[in-house]
A and B are shown apart, each in its own frame.
Chain A
Amino acid sequence: MVTMIDYSITIVGAFLAMCMFTTLYGKSSPLYALAEESYIGFGTGLTIVINAEYIWRTGIVNIMKGDYILILALILGAMILFRVHPKYNYVARIPIAIALGAQFGLSLRTIIFSGFIQQITASIVPLFGGDMVTMLYRWTIALSVIFMMTFFFYSIELTGPLATSAKIGEYFLYTAFGAIFAQTFMGRLGLFVGFMQSYTVPPWKKPILLAAMFIVFAIIVIMDRTGMLEKYTPVE
């Protein structure tokens, strides 16, 4: 049973989505501005809701339960608001320093393992034995890692064998870029196809999609031809 709410969601969604797609036309337009500001407006609203809820649930509720150390969070939060005060803005530096230090500690404590040690151990594999394909794979990976690494030395002049190695590394890198680009394209195409499909399945949505496409495209072309695009597009 398709309700009025389903219809309204599909109609508004399809129309705004097509407005957003008008960015591909290469010129900004009032329709794009409508979609953009809708998203920024509601998106900011969403950010407010999520953050307020977080402060309430993690901060206030726990303070009321007796976790008084969290009052410090509110004090620091209040201090950071001094940022906008022309005279006392230096008060905000302390909470920023604390946040910076803590977030840094959090990100730096694990990356030496996941990004360095584990990557080295994963590179150490048996190079002999197993079938031909496995061996080909392993040799290619091992050699690629080694050659690519030399391409990323910055503080020595690359001459002699090192220069050759760096050159080979660069070639390997571009070979990799081709494959990665293609994989990424498939992923993005999947997102686009999947999104369009959410407006073709179930079939009652198809006419709405077609209508939205046609109307938005027509408006853009007409506005462009008549010079209205420049006139009504917001200036920054």
Chain B
Amino acid sequence: MATPLFQVPLIAEGRFIGLILDILIFALVLYYTSGDKKIYIRRVAGLDAIEEAVGRAAEMGKPVVASYGLGGFTYWTLAGLSILSHVAGLSAKTGTRLIVPTGGSTSSLIVRPVAEEIVKTAYTMEGVPDQYNPDDLPFLSGQQYAYVGGYVGILQRTRPASVIMTGSHWSDAMNIAETSNAVGAITITSGAYISNVAALACASDYILIGEEAPAAGAYLSDDPSQRASIRVQDIFKWIALGCIILGLVLSNMGINIVENLLST
């Protein structure tokens, strides 16, 4: 078992390195967003699919269904909202009807007004505020499976051209993805947990695996701060990789310094 290397006064036991890592992330984001740094972002296959999907709907004169998940204000929800904002902008521009099912859990109640605001703003920014219809953000109860039942019903009745399902969808994601595929819609999804990702990878036309969803936002927008955050994430993956390799080598030589440091 790993034993902490040292104890820092005032800081709770075993939480020092975590705090340092958090602060490091903050500092790195600050560093990369300041000034004008050009950062390369690898192209993620699912990204352009979003624009294509809205374009297809506009051509066919059918609606787009987009959702941001059913969690509270978590990382996934925020990533989903950020994509929703983009989709709403595209829909407003092309005059495509956008349906956003909302609800699904008690903790998502507070997210709902934010989503409304996002869609409304997008329509206003494109100069078509009168096309915004609050009834197209139906609230489908605070129960996960009642939400899904309603969602599936909407898909079957409106037969949308595209479905863009991001954010924190859990086991309900497969109901949506497979129904969407069955009604002939282009299906773009993002998976929030590993059991889901495996299934969604098979069921959808495009999947944003893991953090590809937020990376999608970075790629679509030219916002330097979004690109910066992708760079910071990469740096931390290097740190993780380095720690694992170094730890494996050292611990097999009988030196447990990496584990001990991490548990400090």
Chains A and B directly touch (beta carbon < 8 Å): yes
> Which residues of A does B touch, CB under 8 Å?
20, 23, 26-28, 32-33, 35-36, 39-40, 43-44, 46-47, 50-51, 80, 83, 92, 96, 99-100, 103-104, 107-108, 112-113, 116-117, 119-121, 123-128, 142, 145-146, 149-150, 152-158, 176-178, 180-181, 183-184, 187, 233-236
- Within the complex, what minimum Cβ distance (angstroms) separates B150 from chain A? 5
Q: Contact check, B157 vs A40: say whether CB atoms are below 8 A apart.
A: no
The majority secondary structure among interface residues of chain B is helix
The majority secondary structure among interface residues of chain A is helix
What are 13 A-to-B residue pairs whose CB atoms are below 8 Å? Answer: A26-B183, A28-B153, A40-B146, A46-B142, A50-B142, A96-B110, A96-B113, A112-B18, A116-B240, A121-B2, A121-B247, A128-B252, A177-B202
Q: Contact check, B75 vs A107: say whether CB atoms are below 8 A apart.
A: yes
With a cutoff of 8 Å between Cβ atoms, the chain A residues found around residue B241 in the complex are: 146, 149-150
Other A-B contacts than A123-B247, A125-B251, A149-B241, 18 sampled, CB-CB below 8 A, are: A27-B156, A33-B153, A40-B146, A44-B141, A80-B110, A100-B73, A116-B236, A121-B2, A124-B251, A124-B258, A154-B215, A155-B233, A156-B234, A158-B42, A176-B198, A177-B197, A233-B157, A234-B157
Q: Contact check, A123 vs B244: say whether CB atoms are below 8 A apart.
A: yes
With a cutoff of 8 Å between Cβ atoms, the chain A residues found around residue B152 in the complex are: 23, 36
Q: Contact check, B140 vs A50: say whether CB atoms are below 8 A apart.
A: no
| B196 (CB) vs chain A CBs: closest residue | A184
Other-chain contact of B252, A50, A104, A127 (Cβ < 8 Å): A127
Residues in B212-264 with C-beta less than 8 Å from chain A:
215, 227, 230-231, 233-234, 236-237, 240-241, 243-245, 247-248, 251-252, 258-259, 262-263
| B139 (CB) vs chain A CBs: closest residue | A44
With a cutoff of 8 Å between Cβ atoms, the chain A residues found around residue B39 in the complex are: 155
CA distance A207 to B202 in the complex (A): 37
- How many Cβ-Cβ contacts under 8 Å join chain A to chain B? 175
With a cutoff of 8 Å between Cβ atoms, the chain A residues found around residue B128 in the complex are: none
A123-B199 in contact given A23-B156, A153-B237, A155-B230 (Cβ < 8 Å): no
Other-chain contact of A177, B145, B198, B240 (Cβ < 8 Å): B198
Other-chain contact of A47, B15, B73, B106, B230 (Cβ < 8 Å): B106
Q: Is B45 an interface residue (CB 8 A)?
A: no
With a cutoff of 8 Å between Cβ atoms, the chain B residues found around residue A128 in the complex are: 252
With a cutoff of 8 Å between Cβ atoms, the chain B residues found around residue A33 in the complex are: 153
A152-B244 in contact given A40-B150, A51-B106 (Cβ < 8 Å): no
Q: Contact check, A117 vs B234: say whether CB atoms are below 8 A apart.
A: no
With a cutoff of 8 Å between Cβ atoms, the chain B residues found around residue A117 in the complex are: 17-18, 21, 262-263
Q: Is B99 an interface residue (CB 8 A)?
A: yes
Q: Contact check, A236 vs B154: say whether CB atoms are below 8 A apart.
A: yes
| A25 (CB) vs chain B CBs: closest residue | B156
CA distance A125 to B241 in the complex (A): 14
CA distance A145 to B17 in the complex (A): 22
